[in-house]
A and B are shown apart, each in its own frame.
Chain A
Amino acid sequence: MLNAVYQLKKPRQFEMVFKDVTFDQEHIIVRPTHLSICNADQRYYQGTRPEEILRKKLPMALIHEGIGRVVYDPTGQFEIGDYVVMIPNLPSEEDAVIAENYLRSSKFRASSTDGFLQEYIETVPDRLVKLPEGINLTVAAFTEFVSVSFHAISRFMETANTKRSRIGVWGDGNLGYTTSLLLKSMYPEIEVYVMGVNESKLHDFTFVDGVYLVTEIPEDFKIDHAFECVGGNGAHKAINQIIDYINPEGTIGILGVSEDLAPINTRMVLEKGLKIVGSSRSGRKDFTGLVELYREKPEIVEYLENIVGEQITIREIKDITRAFEMDSHKLIGKTVMVWDK
């Protein structure tokens, strides 16, 4: 089948190409329905990745957050018409110790291979997870994004010491929202505090125990552990502030992506005996765990509706461009493309 693939040819320019999809007994074909834009996509679209990276990776179809409907399944694992979330990490080996999203051999959609901006997606059954009936599809579109928070929290629970009464989340953007929301929902006994730079955005974190502007954190404020969800050129400031406020032997989970190096106060990391745990992307068990959590606690999905930004129906390539331009000007919120191309 001649499948239309919408690749970013160079920054701000999409182009349609066709790639053959062969029908066999192992692969399932999914029709994408809702696709969500991530900052990583924006970095390619705007051309803010280093020149040599752009040269190496483009042309490539963007988008690694998305859901769709099963249209062809020779394996019989899904019903035709099932709504599924698509897992963008594509492992080529199994490892008893290293998680699939950290294996250097794994490919990742819209990074080392074409993303979901395609007419149809051909994939294997274990890269799909069935969504709960009746779930808000716009929210479900960014399940991958939320699964990154789920993964970071699971990792944190395996790493951090058991003194966990107060946790701080730095970042008042989408990632700070999903991380603090999951943390509070999964561990209601933990006091969760969110630190940010925008007062009006912080007002939306109604489910946590407290919010502070980074310039107004009380001197005697203490936390046992923290998550950094800032990234970009603010990452190092956030990490250093966490180092100042965190209790000894605390764990700092770093989630924010930064193009530049982040100088951090290593003297105090040593003195306090801190652990710094990097966390990136997610794997199948995070998707299944999160979808189960959506089933058990539907109020999480309701809270996530608050970060749905623009929804744009895509019928032409220029609609994709419009969606990316609108997304780049947003203050907060996930831009979701309703796929009708």
Chain B
Amino acid sequence: MEGSNIYGVVLAGGKGTRMGNVEKPKQFMEIGGKPIIVHTIEKFVVNAEFDKILVLSPKQWIKHTGDLIRKYIPGNDRIVVLEGGVTRNETIMNAISYIDREGCLNEDTIIVTHDSVRPFVTHRILEENIRYAREFGACDTVIPATDTIVESKDGQMISTIPDRMEMYQGQTPQSFKALHLRSLYQSLSKQEKEILTDACKILVIKGEKVHLVEGEESNIKITYPYDMRVAEALLGGR
């Protein structure tokens, strides 16, 4: 299945803390005795549709990330570690630039971007991301909101309470036709770029359609110590 023109893009952002500092970026913390980022990359490795799996890492952690991959996923030449950007979207642009440099970027190139700290992503979610990105140009993985979402503009008073039935919580992957995403991003003003909290918003503010992919409750983002406890509990099956 070589030459599918689909790339996994694992976003290992986090602070560029130097080695030796007390707090390592979350992706390097271990669950089940293995770094979270390794679990995440492995989910991409077992999907043959990905031509390459690009792992974007803060500059100081590139070697460390590469070493972990060699240790836990030996003999895999589909994984490439690249330097991330200052923001999430700049990091994604770095991934697209790599594909471009390799001479593989065209209108059909698909990138499936995913948080390195969401190791519980499933085969189905990845498959549907590929399917919907192909079909609709972009898609976002979400789950229906279980809590009522309250909007407050000043952080003190409620400004509005949207209908929960229409609310979803965003997860990842978020998948795109790479060339189109880049040209939309480049057309944004500096001000527009500043309000972007994630990559799907690039399309949304330009009035483009983004299809929904059904996520999973278990596809959690490991951000806080509490999440580590949840992750270990999910892994605790007999």
Measuring CB to CB, which residues of chain A are less than 8 angstroms from any residue of chain B? 1-2, 4-5, 7, 16-23, 25, 29, 31, 59, 71-72, 74, 80-81, 119-120, 315, 340-341
Contact A18 B72 (CB under 8 A): no
Is the CB of B73 closer than 8 A to any CB of chain A?
yes
- 20 interchain pairs, CB-CB under 8 A: A1-B43, A1-B45, A2-B120, A2-B235, A5-B237, A7-B238, A17-B238, A18-B120, A18-B234, A20-B39, A23-B42, A23-B72, A59-B238, A71-B48, A72-B45, A72-B46, A120-B46, A120-B123, A341-B122, A341-B123
Contact partners of B32 in chain A: CB under 8 A: 2, 20
| Additional 10 contacts, C-beta under 8 A, given A20-B33, A25-B74 | A1-B39, A16-B218, A17-B234, A17-B238, A22-B72, A23-B45, A29-B46, A74-B75, A315-B214, A341-B122
Task: Report how many residues on chain B are interfacial, defined by Cβ distance under 8 Å.
Answer: 29
Q: Would A17 and B236 count as touching, CB distance under 8 A?
A: yes
Interface residues of B in 104-143 (CB under 8 A from A): 119-120, 122-124, 127
Instruction: Select B122's contact among A4, A7, A20, beta carbons within 8 Å.
Output: A4
Tell me if B161 counts as interface (CB < 8 A to partner A).
no
Nearest Cβ on chain A to B58's Cβ, whole angstroms? 24
B237 touches A59 (CB 8 A): yes
Chain A residues whose C-beta falls within 8 Å of the C-beta of B119 in the assembled complex: 2
> In the complex, which of the residues A17, A21, A22 contacts B237, with contact meaning CB atoms closer than 8 Å?
A17
Most chain B CB neighbours (cut-off 10 Å) among A1, A5, A72, A120: A1
- Chain A residues positioned under 8 Å from B238 (CB to CB): 7, 17, 59
Q: Cβ of B64 < 8 Å from any Cβ of A?
A: no
**Bound Cα distance A59, B237 (Å):** 9
Indicate if B47 sits at the interface (CB-CB under 8 A).
yes
In angstroms, how far is the closest chain B Cβ from the Cβ of A110? Answer: 14
Docked CA distance A332–B75 (Å): 48
Given A59-B237, A74-B75: A20 and B47 interface contact (C-beta under 8 Å): no
Across-interface contacts of A71 in B (CB, < 8 A) = 46-48
The reply to whether A31 and B1 contact each other, CB–CB distance below 8 Å, is no
Say whether B34 faces chain A, with CB atoms less than 8 Å apart: yes
Bound CA span A18–B232, Å? 9
Complex Cα distance A340/B34, Å?
Answer: 27
Contact assessment for A18 and B123 in the assembled complex, using a CB-CB cutoff below 8 Å:
no
Q: How far is the CB of B47 from the nearest CB of chain A, in Å?
A: 7
Known: A18-B235, A20-B34. A1 touches B42 (CB 8 A): yes
Kindly identify, within residues 36 to 92 of chain B, every residue whose CB is under 8 Å from any CB belonging to chain A. 39, 42-43, 45-48, 72-75
Is the Cβ of A119 less than 8 Å from the Cβ of B122?
yes
A23 CA / B48 CA spacing, docked (Å) = 15
Closest to B36 in A: A2
Min CB–CB distance B67 → chain A (angstroms): 15
Point out the residues of chain A lying under 8 angstroms from B1, CB to CB: 80-81
A130 and B214 alpha carbons, distance in the complex (Å): 33
